[in-house]
Structure 1
Amino acid sequence: MATEHTERTERTERTERTERAGETAEFLLPRSRQANERLHAMIPGGAHTYAKGDDQYPENLAPVISHGRGAHVWDIDGNRYVEYGSGLRSVSLGHAHPGVLEAVRRELDRGSNFVRPSIVEAEAAERFLATVPTAEMVKFAKNGSDATTAAVRLARAATGRPRVAICADHPFFSVDDWFIGTTPMSAGVPAATNELTVAFPYGDLAATEELLTQYQDEVACLILEPATVVEPPPGYLAGLRELADRHGCVLIFDEIITGFRWSEAGAQGLYGVVPDLSTFGKALGNGFAVSALAGRRDLMELGGLRHSGDRVFLLSTTHGAETHSLAAAMAVQTTYVEEGATAQLHLLGERLAAGVREAAAAMGVGDHIVVRGRASNLVFGTLDENGRPSQRYRTLFLRRLLTGGVLAPSFVVSSALSDADIDHTVDVVAQACAVYRKALDAADPTPWLAGRPVKPVFRRLA
């Protein structure tokens, strides 16, 4: 406890030292800055995920991570942070979770990949289908994009139709052409491919039916995240189920994020609506690379050997059934049940959201720093003096969080967070809100940015 108090005191004293007119905290990351240059010299974008790029952080304040444990990470400059959105929502139990690591270590000594299936593949499939009982078959892969693209391919094969209908209000489905062609980063995707993807708005059944009628007998599937920042309107998911059935298309739930965070069986388990196919990832491996495509037997078996129709090249990945990753997935599912992890995520998120909202309101910025989403999957918005989303104000806010020892591109919680971690986060948010108020009063956050604003991931020009 004394060490915790000392570290918090040191962070507070550090944030009180200033570079300009008592406003911008003195916080330098020289080793991280050098490491970012090394990364850019060898890796396009300086990271293997665009959302982890240094353009997503204030200039020269993009920490390069050394290691993590629980809800904390350390950068190579020696700073410790309370971390949110861990591994882009994948590390929901906290870094280096003992139960997950123990399961992984047991498999490492037994070999990780063979010329024939391991018995672990059967055990992992049985465990997954027991956790997600709405599915009848499952196939594992390494990332969510492969799983969603396989689902789209199955839908096209099963229906004989070319078009894919995506939910326009959801930010990401796949790195593959059928989706990336719809984003501002569509370079390299043929126009003919883009024309096969159409979009429908979330929560609007009438607009979706109009789309399906416009492209009658052409739409192979409806693919959407069943819930994200907003909850589904009453009857919406059931209405989509009915529309898909009536128009003969496949209903796909992208549960890459909602899986485990909404319930162990995903949003479909929480809301009681059964999709034809669904995809899981992120939290499934607690940081280890594993994803899953699951669904109806008659659809999934099209990618198998026990049917008389045309074969579908479904998923065939060299490392898709890596034994230690499957062991991690099974350990995650065990932990969620034994520790009540989903309930923990919601309780922690509710506590954090209440604290942030109270701090923002107390500083007079409650209408400008807004917390949205389900308690287990919180994001925040930064609005300018006119109430519009602002990358410049986001930059200001992120700078203040970083200088206070909080690494938070979102407020997505892990179950490893303690009450002390959340209290510290709220304290830092309160300090950030005080500066935010001054910037709003000046109607210009520029003096507090100390560099270029952070940038959106999806943009046409680098």
Structure 2
Amino acid sequence: MSQQVRFDAGAADGPPDQRLERSVAAQARLHELVPGGAHTYARASDQYPEGLAPVLARGAGAHVWDVDGNEYVEYGMGLRSVTLGHGYRPVVDAVTTAIADGVSFSRPSRWELDAAEAFCAQVPGAEMVKFAKNGSDATTAAVRLARAATGRDLVAVCTDHPFFSTDDWFIGTTAMDAGIPRGITDLTVGFRYGDLAGTAELLAAHRGEVAALVLEAATAHQEPPPGYLEGLRALCDREGVVLVFDEIITGMRWSSGGAQAVYGVTPDLSTWGKAMGNGFAVSALAGRRELMELGGLATDERRVFLLSTTHGAETAGLAAWLAVHREYGALDVPAVLAERGRRLRAGVEQVVGAAGLADHVTVSGHPACLVFGTRDGSGAPSQPFRTLFLAELLRRGVLAQSFVVSAAHTDTDLDRTVDAVAGALPTYAAALDAGSTDKFLVGPPVAPALRERAAPRRLRHRPEPVRHHGGAR
């Protein structure tokens, strides 16, 4: 028997019925074959309302279609990796042309030289670069370089920033630390963003032991206080610590040269990914020559094993990066992203305010990296209310874990999203009046992606197709 979502406060003119039978079946089969049912925890079904996790078939621009044929305006766009839009023709054509002549060879290709020249010309402080396929590998390589250069073991990471790498040195500091030896996690210490004095105290307490300071120069919610990044730069110079900026998100979104170009502070090393390839797999480690060369041949020091992978320089990823680089040169994409984000935020805040829910549904962050917040009746952040909001947006054709835009989002897309938010608010208000989302959801709410146990979204049975209806049950 199919389950059914109950909407006690839905209007008679609510959205049409939405069928997801094929998505539910495909997701169930994925759970049988793939641990977690997805290859990235942030894409998993526990990040979506139960029975409302579309399995996608294709995308174009800022739109995606699921295997049931439902169409959505998408936000987040490949976990912030797609800034130009799905299937963006100049990138697809460049990749198609490149791979037609071969993808991987026994010697470097011309793509490696062209990509390196373009990258080092674009990024301040990038005297050398090495490409890879994901940001985790690039950031771990930065840590390895710092340890080799300084002869120190400890790494200091910003505890206010959610993610740096899938590797043990970082994952061991999260709730999902199973299988990671304590001896590894003890080598990572933390500092708070914006607290220059606290960071100085940390380095003094571990004087001569810290190899690297790893942080994002800025995030969606955090702008560096005046003098903060400059202070970190001076502190690292004084203490002999390698300063590493994680530009995985900020790079190509804050500016073509990353956050370091915006704020005018050059790190020793920086790591890049996501938007570099408009969804194609390519990342980079860049920085000062004297550090990078520790993985090369112009050194008398012990050599560092630095990003030596079979697929690190395959032609598809590098051709994609070069095409994105050209598009950014022709169009100020970060400025477009910021303008799109500002327009969306204004529209959402207008309808939320009109509904009297400004204290419960919020939009915040850098305009090119917006997130929404959901709060319960007491004003506390709420996963159940997030789940309800996600469900209501999905039912209205908006797939949005965030409100992170791309340059492909049109005014029509933004207006449609604002309309979807407006349509979601009556149900949100009804749940607030009821004091709970229990009557409005099927199954438990979404849960943090990095958590110790599968509960509260542990699989207990094979999911059945769900038909979601507007209006009351």
Normalised-by-shorter TM-score class = over 0.9
Q: CA deviation at 1:40?
A: 0.8
Match of 2:442 among 437, 450, 456: 450
The aligned residue for residue 27 of structure 2 is 36
Aligned to 1:79: 70
Question: Which segment drifts farther, 451-460 or 139-148?
Answer: 451-460
What is the CA distance between 1:434 and its match in structure 2? 2.1
Aligned length: 446
Indicate the residue corresponding to 2:296 in structure 1: 304
Q: Contact (CA 8 Å) 2:360, 2:379: kept in 1 or not?
A: yes
Structure 2 residue aligned with 1:179? 170
- Asked if 1:291 is matched to 2:283, the reply is yes
Q: 2:305 aligns with which of 310, 313, 325?
A: 313
- Which has the higher mean CA deviation after the structures are superposed, 324-333 or 435-444? 435-444
Whether the aligned pair in 2 keeps the contact of 1:277 and 1:293 (CA below 8 Å) is yes
- Per-residue deviation, residues 174-207 of structure 1 (Å, max 9, x unmatched): 0000000000000000011111100000111011
The unaligned stretches of length 5 or more in structure 2 are 455-473
Equivalent residue of 1:258, what SS? coil
Give the share of equivalent positions with the same residue, in percent.
Answer: 61
3-state DSSP class of the match of 1:259? Answer: coil
> Is the Cα contact below 8 Å between 2:6 and 2:439 reproduced in 1?
no
> Is residue 428 from structure 1 mapped to residue 409 from structure 2 by the alignment?
no
Q: CA deviation at 1:213?
A: 0.8
Per-residue deviation, 1:134: 2.0
The alpha carbon displacement at 1:20 in A equals 3.8
**Residue 336 of structure 1 corresponds to which residue in structure 2?**
328
* Aligned-partner residue type, residue 361 of structure 2: I
TM-aligned CA deviation for residue 19 of structure 1: 4.8
TM-score, length of structure 1 as denominator length = 0.95
* Structure showing the higher helix proportion among its residues: 1
Q: Counterpart in 1 of 2:58?
A: 67
| 2:393 match | 401
Measure, in 1, the Cα distance between the counterparts of 2:273 and 2:7: 44
Residue in structure 1 matched with residue 247 of structure 2 by the alignment: 255
The Cα shift of 1:110 comes to: 0.7
Q: CA deviation at 1:135?
A: 0.9
Say if 2:203 is the partner of 1:212. Answer: yes
1:21 aligned partner: 8
1:229-378 mapped onto 2 (5 Å cutoff): 229-378=221-370
**Residues 1:410 and 2:402 aligned together:** yes
Q: Distance in 1 between matches of 2:7 and 2:198?
A: 52
SS of corresponding position for 2:201? helix
Aligned to 1:4: none
Q: Which secondary structure does the structure 1 equivalent of 2:214 belong to?
A: strand
| Cα distance, 1:446 vs structure 2 | 1.4
- In the TM superposition, residue 236 of structure 1 has moved relative to its aligned partner by 1.1
Q: The residue matched to 1:126 in structure 2 has which SS?
A: helix
RCO higher in 1 or 2 (8 Å CA, sep ≥ 6)? 2
Out of 97, 103, 110, the position equivalent to 2:101 is 110
Structure 1 unaligned residues grouped into runs of 5+: 1-16
Structure 1 contact 28–61 (Cα < 8 Å) conserved: no
The code of the aligned residue for 2:91 comes to: V
Instruction: Compare 445-454 and 96-105 and name the one that shifted more.
Output: 445-454
Structure 1 ranges of 4+ moved more than 6 A: none
- Whole-angstrom distance in 1 between the partners of 2:271 and 2:405: 22
Secondary structure at the aligned position of 1:349 is classed as helix
Provide, for residues 152-172 of structure 1, a one-character-per-residue CA deviation record: whole Å limited to 9, x for no partner. Answer: 000000001100000000000
Counterpart contact for 1:64–1:75, Cα < 8 Å: yes
Query: Do the aligned partners of 1:45 and 1:53 also contact (CA within 8 Å) in 2?
Result: yes
The amino acid of 1:387's aligned partner reads: G
Contact 1:138-1:292 at 8 Å conserved across structures:
yes
Describe how 1:87-126 pairs up with structure 2 within 5 A. Answer: 87-126=78-117
Give SS of 1:107's match.
helix
TM-score by length of 2: 0.93
Whether the 8 Å contact between 2:249 and 2:273 is mirrored in structure 1 is yes
Aligned amino acid, residue 200 of structure 1: F
2:136 & 2:261 partners in 1: Cα distance? 22
CA-CA distance at 1:18 after TM superposition: 8.5
Secondary structure of the residue that 2:251 maps to in structure 1?
A: helix
Separation of aligned partners in 1, 2:127 and 2:275:
21
Do 1:369 and 1:382's aligned partners in 2 also have CA atoms closer than 8 Å?
yes
Q: Quote the offset at 1:133 in angstroms.
A: 3.1
